[in-house]
Structure 1
Amino acid sequence: MSGGGDRASGRRLDGREAGVLARLALPIVMARIGLTLMLVVDNMIVGHFGTAALASFALGLVLVQTMQTVGLGLLMGGMVEISAAFGRGDMAECGRIWRRSLLYAAVIGLAFVVVAHQAPAIFAALGQAPELAASAGHISALIGWSLPPMLIYIASIGLLEATGYPYVGVVMLALANVLNLVLNLVLVDGAAAMGAEGAALATLIARLVLAAGTVGYIVFLMRERASLGRPSWRDHAWSAGRHQRRIGYAEGMSMGIESGSFSALTLFAGQMGAVELAAYTVAININMMLFMPAVGVGGAAAVRVAQARGRHDGPGMARSGTTGLAVFAALMLTVALLFLAVPEAVTALYTADPALAVVAVPIVALIGFLALIDGAQRVVANILRGYGETWLPTTSHLFSYVAVMVPAAWMLGVHFGLGARGLIAAIAFASVVATALLLFRFRQLAARPQFNEEVTWASF
């Protein structure tokens, strides 16, 4: 009887846990929105510069955003393991994991820079028009240099968020966004009038400042900086980071699959013409910003679940996961209703082109509901990461976003001629499939009567 009671208490909503999770999630959501806001501002200002420039900038970001998303996933293991170490009260281990993550972020980022410089040839090989491939490839090569500092920042806020300093990242991002906005106004359509290239340069400068400021805070201002230990080459021993990398490989592949599949849809939109590509860009740009609450709430839930895992508290893990999903659903339903009420006003932030608005407004009206179902699968996937689950979310994403979404997008958007509307419908369908698969696994784990240190395929 007591085991059944533990299971029930683990799965029920907990008001206190909701408060703790919301307090943790709020700065994470603000930080993730701040990350996305740079690109949102870039797209808005470039969109008013011209529809053709927006199409070029949007395609140029496809490759870079896919690599950035993969990098975020690869670094997820560091945040989860820091959370578990903090739950055990081991600050020295938190420091070792963070330093290992910094080097990891720098190496991954530089590898991505090399790939970004191949963007013109990649876009041409994927069937884009020669002029568009060249201009978009130049944007990719320039903004690709922002990936190393961006990933170093992500590795650092993973430490800050897991150890009780979440608002440091928010403040740093607020300053970086102000700098990015000022630079955009000068470089895109101001004194320099560089168009899309100016937006890419503004983001690069802002991200360099962001990474330097965040690392500087940890090294010189964080109260517990001495408890993080001294740097040592032993921090980077291959065996020491095995579990961290294993979580990161799975999450990086999972997020890469999802982002790469979305990139395929952008390529489909590019074949439909500049207006459909621009309309899809507006919709997916909004969805990207609305996806950040999912990343934030999911990240907070992963931290809470991992901390409970560090305490060997099985019911606490289930309770944190269930509460996180409920908090996200309530938040995004409110947002969806707001977007349904004012789609014209939101679209006007991106363009004054009447032809583009005709296509974009109906999609924007429903984009909040897409963000609700698209984000739900990310929240559940992060909860499973907190449990220590590795490859199931990746397999779910492979099936849902490659085997389901991409073919459905081609059929609806290209074959049946529904354009950007068909692409958005395919995303919604695939997200429902992914969420259902992941929820089934979470229910299995939450029903366990006791804590298990390792989650394996054999238990599925």
Structure 2
Amino acid sequence: MNRAPHSRSPWRAELRATLTLAWPLILSNLTMAAIQATDVVLMGWLGARPLAASALGLNLTFAFSLICLGLVTASSPMMATALGARLRSVQDVRRSFRQSLWLVGTITVPVWLVLWNSEPVIRALGQEPALAADARLFLRGYMWSMLPFLLFQAMRNFVAALERPGWVLAISLGAIPLNAMLAYGLIFGRFGLPEWGIFGGGLASSIVWMLQAVLLGLVIVTDRQFRRFHPFGRFWRPDWPRYRRMWRIGLPIGLAMGFEGGVFSAAAYLMGLIDAESVAAHAVALQIAALSFMVPWGLSQAATVRVGRHLGERNRQGIGRAGAVAWVLGVGFMALMALVIWAIPRELMTLFLDDTPQNARVIALGVSFLAIAAIFQIVDGAQVVGAGMLRGLHDTRVPMIFTFVGYWAIGIGAGTWLAFREGWQGQGVWTGLAVGLTIVAILMGWRWMRRDALGLTRTAQ
């Protein structure tokens, strides 16, 4: 009679552990998206063309940011598995964290060089010269956010591996009003600040990310539970085997995330081949979809930690529970968001754009894009949580191939064909995105279900 409650207790414990870890990460992700959404709103106040130009700049940055973020993400499963194994965990966690900071230093400067010379890159992608020039101006302010953004993510991986992400949430929440005020002031010349227009909006984001990185660093060196790891101690000491391992694990993650983010960036440039209104509508519709995506992304990050912990403990059943709990939560939430987006697309668009005759076409295009976005919400949640589950098993190379095939060989190919050969224009591009996401979700789920047969859990019992 007493067996049933006992048999359910591991599931309740896993659900509790996943939610405790995930909700600060989710809210932190939402605040990151809210900062960018604030920039989109303010650029929309400047007009459709400044919004389109900043969208081109952001989409160029986006792919680079995700590749770099994926590289840094390698530290998360490495630290989680070390903590699960408990042997030399303090030393291993410190070394992995230190090498993630080395990784940030390695990759930032080359990205800065590309972004500094962004105008010819954007023009080479077929965009209007005037929009390319404005996008370059925006990026001259925004590009400096890359270093503090990546440092913040490396530190966030550390506190998440220790299952104490509350500080990340607190700092991120404070950044939202700060970014709104600073961007408003620098764009429109308010609060005694210079009126720098589109450049000011980019610079505000760089300043806010710098402050966030500094604050989280101060927390890590002062909090007693973090300080015992001496995370910044002997920073100058290399650990080349660990550094190379981080590249081996992180590069496929980065490429996979870059393939995913890059396909949305490519979609923005395909919109630019249509007209500026399509770019603006795409930017707003994508921002709405991105806000809902932050929840399964946070669950994906929690799944990586929880699966990695159980892998370190050699607990095969725990691995399965951790993945199942995160997947159900992520897909269930995105099913609800699909209903919301389907029900009120125009109301969502007008949160970002004034409902005026000048914006009528942009809003109408955005509504048509959101109808497709509502359809792919569920598979988007399934693929991102599935990827996080596999990362917890240190499985990154094959999922990277899945993302390339699904997003680029199928998704962007189908989108380009539908947009320009079949005359669907922007709706064709978004339909291609939906097809690509569906393919990747199916492949990720298939690999997770075969994890034992493929030897991904061979260290577990």
TM-score in terms of structure 2 length: 0.91
- CA separation in 2, counterparts of 1:203 and 1:233? 28
1:386 matched to which residue of 2? 392
Q: Deviations over 1:425-445 (max 9, x none)?
A: 111111111111111110001
1:363-378 → structure 2 map (5 Å cutoff): 363-378=369-384
- CA separation in 2, counterparts of 1:55 and 1:395? 31
SS state of the match for residue 332, structure 2? Answer: helix
- CA RMSD in angstroms comes to 2.2
- Deviation of 1:124 (Å): 1.4
- CA separation in 2, counterparts of 1:213 and 1:28? 17
- Deviation of 1:365 (Å): 4.4
Match of 2:362 among 353, 356, 368: 356
2:91 matched to which residue of 1? 92
- CA separation in 2, counterparts of 1:427 and 1:20? 33
- CA separation in 1, counterparts of 2:60 and 2:427? 23
SS state of the match for residue 424, structure 2? Answer: coil
- CA separation in 2, counterparts of 1:53 and 1:332? 31
- Deviation of 1:448 (Å): 7.7
Q: Deviations over 1:245-274 (max 9, x none)?
A: 211011011111222222221111001111
1:157 matched to which residue of 2? 156
CA contact (8 A) 1:96 1:228 kept: no
SS state of the match for residue 233, structure 2? Answer: coil
- Deviation of 1:233 (Å): 5.6
CA contact (8 A) 2:331 2:381 kept: no
- Deviation of 1:180 (Å): 0.3
CA contact (8 A) 1:176 1:206 kept: yes
- CA separation in 2, counterparts of 1:235 and 1:399? 39
SS state of the match for residue 452, structure 1? Answer: coil
1:48-197 → structure 2 map (5 Å cutoff): 48-89=45-86, 90-191=89-190, 192-197=194-199
- Deviation of 1:84 (Å): 1.1
2:203 matched to which residue of 1? 201
- CA separation in 2, counterparts of 1:197 and 1:25? 35
CA contact (8 A) 1:119 1:141 kept: no
- Deviation of 1:66 (Å): 0.9
CA contact (8 A) 2:395 2:456 kept: no
Match of 1:40 among 16, 34, 37: 37
Select between 243-252 and 295-304 the one with higher mean Cα deviation.
243-252
2:12 matched to which residue of 1? 15
Pairing 1:410–2:419 present: no
Select between 28-37 and 233-242 the one with higher mean Cα deviation.
233-242
Letter in 1 for 2:361: A
1:425-436 → structure 2 map (5 Å cutoff): 425-436=431-442
SS state of the match for residue 236, structure 1? Answer: coil
- CA separation in 1, counterparts of 2:269 and 2:143? 19
1:321-336 → structure 2 map (5 Å cutoff): 321-336=323-338
- Deviation of 1:325 (Å): 0.6
1:244-283 → structure 2 map (5 Å cutoff): 244-283=246-285
1:396 matched to which residue of 2? 402
- Deviation of 1:218 (Å): 0.4
- Deviation of 1:343 (Å): 1.7
SS state of the match for residue 445, structure 1? Answer: coil
SS state of the match for residue 227, structure 1? Answer: coil
CA contact (8 A) 1:100 1:235 kept: no
Q: Say which structure, 1 or 2, has more relative contact order (CA 8 Å, 6+ apart).
A: 1
2:244 matched to which residue of 1? 242
- CA separation in 2, counterparts of 1:401 and 1:227? 40
- CA separation in 2, counterparts of 1:347 and 1:195? 23
Change (3 A) 1:235 1:369: farther
- CA separation in 1, counterparts of 2:186 and 2:290? 24
CA contact (8 A) 1:279 1:420 kept: no
Change (3 A) 1:448 1:52: closer
- CA separation in 2, counterparts of 1:188 and 1:394? 39
2:3 matched to which residue of 1? none
TM-score in terms of structure 1 length: 0.92
Select between 176-185 and 88-97 the one with higher mean Cα deviation.
88-97
Change (3 A) 1:109 1:450: closer
Letter in 2 for 1:56: A
- Deviation of 1:369 (Å): 3.6
CA contact (8 A) 1:315 1:446 kept: no
- CA separation in 1, counterparts of 2:140 and 2:259? 22
- Deviation of 1:135 (Å): 1.3
Letter in 2 for 1:418: W
Letter in 1 for 2:157: G
Count of paired positions: 445
Q: Deviations over 1:269-312 (max 9, x none)?
A: 00111111111111112222222222210110110000001101
Unaligned segments of structure 1, at least 5 residues: 1-8, 455-460
SS state of the match for residue 127, structure 1? Answer: coil
SS state of the match for residue 164, structure 1? Answer: coil
